[in-house]
Structure formats: C-alpha cells, structure tokens
C-alpha cells in the first residue's frame, strides 16, 4: 500500500462554502478523509448573547444563506417561547407556506449543484435555477428582499401578505408540478447520472442513528423521522403529507428523497392555502420585550431543509443569557469520512454534495 495525501481546498469549486479536506488515497481509492472546518466561524452564539432579542434574526438568516427564512423562523420560534407570545393563527398558516417554499428553493438549488458537482446534466442545473427564481420572486414580494428576508417577527410576520399571494402561490404550485416532473425524465433515465450515484457513499440505518444525522440524509437511510411529524409545530398536525424515505442509504437515495420532498412541499402548500383563515399576520413591532415571567430554558426545534435545527436558550428579560445551536450541516458533515472510505477519489465530490452541507451553519 502506498498512501498519498492530497489537500482539497480550502478554495475548491466543488465545495458549498469554504472547506479543506485532507484526503489519503491509495491509487485512486480513498483511505481516509479529514474535514477541516472553521473558515467561516463568526461566533454567532456569543454575538446573540450580547444583543437584544430582535437584533439577532439577521445573524440566524446568514447561517444558511440558501434557506435563510427557515433559520429565521427557528430563532423567532425560540424567542416566542422565551417571552410567552404565541404566533397569530393566520400567521401560522402563512409561515408554513413560506418555509415550505423555502424548502423547495433549497432542494432545487441542491439538485442543480449536485448535477454540476458530478459534471453531468448542465441542462438540469439551468432548469433548477429557472424554477428556483420563480419561488424566490414570491418570497421577495412577501418580505421585500430577495436573499436575507428577516421577515419573521414575534407573533407573526414583518408585514402583510400581498393581496394576490394566494393566487400566485397556487399558480406557482401548478407550474412546479409540471416543470419539476420533467427533471426525472432527464436524470433518472441517464445511465451516467445513476452510475455516479447508485451504490456510492452508502450510510446504513445503524450508522445514521449512531452519527446523529437528520433530515433527508437520515430518511435516505431508511429512518422515517421528521420534526414536522414527531413534534408538530404550527399547523403541521392538521395537514396530510408523506415522508419520502429510502432504504439504500447511497447518494442516489439522498437525491430521490429530496426530489420527492419537493412534491410533498407542494402538497402541503396547497392544503394550507385551502385552509388559511382571514386575519392579520403582522407580528409585534421591534421594541424592548419585558415578559412578566420567563421560562428557565427554551428548546426550539424545526425541520429545516437540510435537517433538524435546534436552539437551546436560557432567556433573560431582554436578550438570551445563553444560546446554543445544533445545526444539521455540522452533524451531517461528521459522517463524510465514513462514507468515503473505500470509494474512488472521483466520487468524493458526489458524496460530499449529497450531504447538502452549508458552511455558514457548520462553522457558525
């Protein structure tokens, strides 16, 4: 055996952020991968402990710049528990629609970049960004900005929904059902695409549980776990939807889970729009919060597009006394050495891409 050590990164076109991987190879077979993180570390948890509650949402949205509204929703959910304020009924429906649109936008970008990572199907890459732009347009019109929305406010949203919000969202769902269905005809009938993903980077259900992975990575290994089902929040317990899951645990299974989740998100959005009551969705104005009583600790959980996000907070009257974040990207990245051992070096980027890691939340 002759081991060669290769540095991949920290600047590399196949990394979704800034990552350095030290890869030991024997010929073109990977013996070990050692991820080096921390290039985007900003000390977000400590920053939040020095600022008022409503000065922090923008920090959380930058944890995942692909799905900022989902992280904003998680943080505001923790603050609402801390100050004892419940989200308005109409705003709960609106939040579910918005975070499911954000989930669709996340998965569309992921599918497109996966095709780019493995050097296949640039057409699909362009289709994904075309359709994602239509989703982002609605989010932009709701929040007023295209990327970092800061649209979640204690008790509701930052501003009222556009008058044509329902009609446009219905129309978008109809369009996506037809458009995204075309992807399958190209990708799943492409022998090279399937050969690059099937049987590559296999994660067994036992290892998935042992490593603590969550989200699509966990469900692709045969574990039906989703916070929206196991610990429903907002109105998820009133909605009928399925959890796509596979038993193979390989890169292809992780692709299929995310692809099928797009259609489940469309199903959720349509149901919520049908059920959405009339009413004010605007939350409280930004001001000093002085709750009459505060809980000793707060734990908020959400099913983010990349996996389970969790915030542990020890609240004070005006700001978090202590705040800790469990980010899905950080946990899912830990399984990379396990998945890569024995695979070919060329498969490194398919395996890493299949985990959908973003380094704003990984490094924090």
Q: Which domains does the chain have, with CATH numbers?
A: 3-363 (1.10.645.10)
State mean pLDDT over 12-18: 62
Question: What per-residue confidence (pLDDT) applies to 10?
Answer: 75
Quote the CA–CA distance of 99 and 104 in Å, as a whole number: 9
The confidence band for 99, taking pLDDT boundaries of 50, 70 and 90, is very high
Q: Is the pLDDT of residue 14 over 90?
A: no
CB 332 within 8 A of CB 307: yes
Pairing of strands 20-26, 3-8: antiparallel
The vertex-29 CA angle with 26 and 30, nearest 5°, equals 90
Q: Is the pLDDT of residue 360 over 90?
A: no
State mean pLDDT over 149-155: 86
Quote the CA–CA distance of 21 and 337 in Å, as a whole number: 10
Q: Which helix (H) or strand (E) holds 304?
A: strand 298-304
Which structure tokens are listed for 110?
A: 């992921």
Question: What per-residue confidence (pLDDT) applies to 292?
Answer: 59
Please give the share of the chain, as a percent, with pLDDT higher than 90: 28
Name which residue leads in pLDDT, 288 or 192.
Answer: 192
Question: What per-residue confidence (pLDDT) applies to 12?
Answer: 58
Strand partners, 250: none
Q: Is the pLDDT of residue 63 over 60?
A: yes
State mean pLDDT over 81-105: 90
The confidence band for 190, taking pLDDT boundaries of 50, 70 and 90, is confident
Question: What per-residue confidence (pLDDT) applies to 289?
Answer: 65
Quote the CA–CA distance of 341 and 2 in Å, as a whole number: 16
Name which residue leads in pLDDT, 295 or 297.
Answer: 297
The confidence band for 15, taking pLDDT boundaries of 50, 70 and 90, is low
């Amino acid at each position: 055996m002759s081991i060669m050590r290769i540095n991949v990164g920290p600047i590399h076109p196949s990394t979704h952020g800034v990552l350095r991987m030290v890869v030991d190879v024997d010929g073109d077979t990977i013996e070990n991968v050692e991820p080096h993180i921390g290039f985007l570390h900003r000390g977000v948890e400590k920053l939040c402990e020095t600022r008022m509650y409503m000065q922090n949402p923008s920090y959380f949205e930058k944890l995942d710049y692909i799905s900022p509204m989902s992280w904003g929703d998680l943080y505001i959910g923790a603050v609402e528990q801390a100050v004892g304020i419940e989200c308005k009924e109409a705003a709960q429906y609106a939040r579910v629609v918005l975070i499911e649109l954000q989930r669709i936008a996340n998965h569309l970008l992921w599918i497109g970049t996966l095709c780019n990572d493995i050097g296949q199907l640039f057409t699909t890459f362009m289709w994904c960004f075309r359709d994602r732009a239509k989703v982002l347009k609605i989010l932009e019109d709701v929040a007023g900005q295209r990327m970092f929305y800061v649209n979640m406010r204690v008790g509701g949203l930052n501003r009222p929904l556009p008058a044509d919000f329902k009609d446009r969202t219905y129309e978008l769902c109809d369009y996506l059902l037809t458009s995204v269905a075309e992807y399958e005809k190209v990708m799943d009938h492409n022998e090279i695409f399937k050969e690059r993903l099937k049987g590559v980077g296999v994660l067994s259900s036992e290892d998935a549980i042992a490593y603590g992975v969550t989200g699509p990575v966990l469900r692709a290994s045969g574990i039906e776990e989703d916070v929206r089902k196991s610990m429903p929040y907002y109105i998820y317990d009133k909605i009928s939807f399925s959890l796509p899951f596979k038993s193979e645990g390989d890169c292809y299974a992780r692709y299929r889970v995310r692809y099928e989740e797009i259609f489940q998100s469309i199903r959720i959005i349509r149901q919520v729009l049908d059920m959405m009551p009339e009413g004010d969705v605007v939350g409280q104005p930004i001001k000093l919060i002085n709750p009459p009583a505060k809980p000793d600790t707060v734990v908020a959980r959400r099913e983010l597009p990349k996996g389970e996000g969790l915030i542990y907070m020890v609240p004070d009257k005006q700001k978090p006394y202590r705040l800790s974040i469990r980010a899905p990207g950080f946990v899912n990245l830990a399984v990379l050495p396990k998945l890569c051992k024995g695979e070919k070096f060329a498969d490194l980027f398919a395996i890493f891409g299949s985990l959908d890691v973003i380094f704003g939340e990984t490094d924090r």
